[in-house]
Amino acid sequence: QVQLVESGGGLVKPGGSLRLSCAASGFTFSDYYMTWIRQAPGKGLEWVSHISNSGHTIYYADSVKGRFTVSRDNAKNSLYLQMESLRAEDTAVYFCARRGSYNSNWNFFDYWGQGTLVTVSS
Partner 1 sequence: IQLTQSPSSLSASVGDRVTITCRASQGISNYLAWYQQRPGKAPKLLIYAASALQSGVPSRFSGSGSGTDFTLTISSLQPEDFATYYCQQVNNYPLTFGGGTKVEIK
| Binding stretches for partner 1 (CB under 8 A) | 35, 44-47, 50, 59, 61-62, 95, 100-101, 105-110, 112-115
Between 9 and 115, whose beta carbon lies closer to partner 1? 115
> What is the C-alpha to C-alpha distance for residues 24 and 4, in angstroms, rounded to an integer?
5
Between 33 and 80, whose beta carbon lies closer to partner 1? 33
Answer yes or no: are the C-beta atoms of 6 and 22 closer than 8 Å: yes
User: What is the closest distance, in whole angstroms, from the C-beta atom of residue 100 to partner 1 in the complex?
Assistant: 7
Answer yes or no: are the C-beta atoms of 51 and 35 closer than 8 Å: yes
Give the DSSP H/E element, type plus range, for residue 17. none
Q: Which amino acid is at 92?
A: A
User: What is the closest distance, in whole angstroms, from the C-beta atom of residue 77 to partner 1 in the complex?
Assistant: 19
Between 35 and 83, whose beta carbon lies closer to partner 1? 35
